Amino acid sequence: MTETDSIAYDVVVLGAGPVGENVADRTRAAGLSTAVVESELVGGECSYWACMPSKALLRPVLAQADARRLPGLSQAVQGPLDTAAVVARRNAFTSNWQDDGQIQWLNGIDVDFYRGHGRLAGPRTVEVTGPDGERKVLTARHAVAACTGTRAVLPDLPGLAEVKPWTSREATSAQAAPDRLVVVGGGVVATEMATAWQGLGSQVTLLVRGKGLLNRMEPFAGELIAEALTEAGADVRTGTSVESVTRENGTVVVITDQGERIEADEILFATGRAPRTDDIGLDTVGLEPGSWLPVDDTLRVTGSEWLYAVGDINHRALLTHQGKYQARIAGAAIAARAAGEPLLDAEWGAHVATADHGAVPQVVFADPEAAAVGLSLAEAEQAGHRVRAVDHNLVVAGSSLYGDNYRGRARMVVDLEREILLGVTFVGPGVGELIHSATIAVVGQVPISRLWHAVPSYPTISEVWLRLLETYRDN
């Protein structure tokens, strides 16, 4: 091992996923010298093992499902998907797990890139150990931004390592559909991957410990998706836990708490995430390795003047779009502090993150899609708001044209004292593109009296807004 003298920057970013890239982009645009450290691929989890590959797998599955609802087209799409072609397109979206283009982008914005494992080595100091064992020490004049994301958590089952289970990484990067796939979990990853691989030719068995899918959304979201998965041929079992998993002569054998034996070719555990902070040197600055890092609304770690934790590792909202939003805020806050400027921009409010408080949008790309923003009815009631849920089915002119036998549901949660929306949920094919209108209504605290004058175009699925408002008025 060799060691070089320390290299000084204004900002050092740990992690080059979408969050780290956006922090670096903002600080460099503000004129601050910036270095980025990444131990894997520039572009991070989202680009190679999450958002992009999963949606590339799902898009043909959902398009085929939509096409099968259209007379004149349905007969032409009854056969199986070309799984190899879908996988090849997915591979293209991940650049075949090569990050040359992302590195070129970093070079283009004049950010120095260090490939290797980065660890804090005291205040404002990052030690990087490269693939060849060479060590470099980077110091930060103003800030270190930790953007290392999360990793999949596997349950504590004896012998599980020998089974070689899938996590989200294997599920999104597999080169062929297993004949039989067991998916354990009831959240977003489990739901989307069950949808994808069932559509790509696997026989999926979905084991859900709780009462249903997507328990952080309105209950009807999980119910409608479970119904659709069952109709597609998946075996959805709720209230079921895994007692043991073994691999016998290449076959995965699962024993459930009901005493059932399930055989499969692969098993995916989508049972939670943990912060990737166990080996980034937190102990050298008085923090607990492996912990989530609490932050203020500028994304600065509580009690620190120089350490920022941006994206999933602060546990505010484990979503790529929220992490990128936080990155823009953090970059602006770091730059403002470095220049001695006020934190709150009078026009944009760009130096303080508020979107993580009660107005987080999310889309689950299943069939049907589920999209939500803000609080569910249960969350609003638990928070002490006096609310009313307004429900309507999604059978409007636009959805009827979208596809025959369209099934869906919409809910808005109304704060009865202020007559604004605290949350909105849509479930149905194609509703992911509706959620930004709901996000604007919730974030902007638009009074219902004003929403009456936001006229939805006819005939679109957005016409459901009019039906929700009519239901609120008439009941």
pLDDT of 370 above 70: yes
Q: How many CB atoms lie within 10 A of CB 310?
A: 34
Average pLDDT over residues 83-96: 98
Give Rg (Cα) of the chain.
24
Q: How many CB atoms lie within 10 A of CB 357?
A: 10
Provide the Cα torsion 186, 192, 194, 200; round to 10°.
Answer: 180
Report strand pairing: 266-269 vs 180-184. Answer: parallel
Average pLDDT over residues 171-196: 98
Dihedral sign for Cα atoms in the order 22, 27, 31, 32: negative
Distance, CA of 265 to CA of 258 (rounded, Å):
21
Domain boundaries in the chain?
7-43+99-151+275-339, 160-272, 368-474
Residue 83: what pLDDT? 98
Domains 160-272 and 368-474 share a fold: no
Residue 351: what pLDDT? 79
Residue 2: what pLDDT? 45
pLDDT of 327 above 60: yes
pLDDT of 134 above 50: yes
Residue 279: what pLDDT? 97
CATH number, domain 160-272 = 3.50.50.60
How is domain 368-474 classified at the CATH fold level? Enolase-like; domain 1 (3.30.390)
Q: Which residue stretches of 287-353 are H helix?
A: 320-339
Residue 193: what pLDDT? 98
CATH superfamily of 7-43+99-151+275-339: FAD/NAD(P)-binding domain (3.50.50.60)
Residue 237: what pLDDT? 98
Distance, CA of 320 to CA of 334 (rounded, Å):
21
